Amino acid sequence: MTDNFNNHASEHYINDLFAAEDEALRFAREETARQGMPQIQIQPADGRLLHLLARACGAQRIVEIGTLGGYSGIWLARALPPQGRLYTLELEAKHAEVARRSFARAGVADRVDVIVGPALDNLASLSQDAPYDMVFIDADKGTYPAYLDWAMAHVRPGGIITAHNALRDGKVAAPQSDADRVVDGFNRTAAQDPRLEATIVAIGDGMLFAVVR
Ligand code: SAH
Ligand code: MG
């Protein structure tokens, strides 16, 4: 578990009641640790939220930016119908390899494409097959504004844009680093852009979510 809970007791309650991990989710989390990769995957309650947002908008095609070991990707892929597709973008080949194993364990490898390289380059290729039903942003914070621009241009009306670490441990309210300032600006864009209706759900490290008008 990472330490980005806002309220441990409440979040453990949510995790236990609504977001129990099965063997594949545990594998994704534990293998990420065993391989010495950063332990920065979303919390179970975040995963459950992503899963339900995908279900609520009837998502068939989802783009995830930042795969790590496939933990959040499992939650998203399991929300898809059998003919659905998750395109998940990851810079590090090693992370992508762990993620592929996680997806196989979870029984969703047939509906997931792990795409390795800088996400912005690969989003340009995915543009051809737009629109998408949902985008989940969870990679390098400095590029969040560009990822949001891409998502706003390529998610269908009624579709959903989500982003992890929207609160940055509360620091967005009084930014201390460049990354804090960029995410604050990202949140302000989501709040004000006429193409979106947005809010931040304050579980984990903050999950921004927006419906595209
Ligand atoms: N969504 C994952 C966690 C992602 S952590 C989960 O909750 O399970 C962020 C990931 O983004 C890391 O694996 C990192 O390698 C990747 N990343 C960083 N910069 C990137 C870039 N420019 N393009 C694609 N992936 C990037
Ligand atoms: Mg994150």
Q: Is 29 a pocket residue for ligand 1 (Cβ < 6 Å)?
A: no
**Which tokens go with 151?**
């998502």
Nearest ligand by distance to the CA of 114: 1
- Cα of 164 vs centre of ligand 2, distance in Å, is 5
Q: Is 208 a pocket residue for ligand 1 (Cβ < 6 Å)?
A: no
- Cα of 66 vs centre of ligand 2, distance in Å, is 8
Q: Phi and psi (nearest 5°) for 200? A: -115, 125
- Beta-carbon-side half-sphere exposure of residue 20 (alpha carbons within 13 Å): 4
Query: What are the average pLDDT values for consecutive 10-residue runs of the chain, which has 213 residues?
Result: 62 95 98 98 97 98 99 98 98 98 98 98 98 99 98 98 97 96 98 98 95 98
What pLDDT, on a 0 to 100 scale, did the predictor assign at position 8? 83
The model scores a pTM over 0.85:
yes
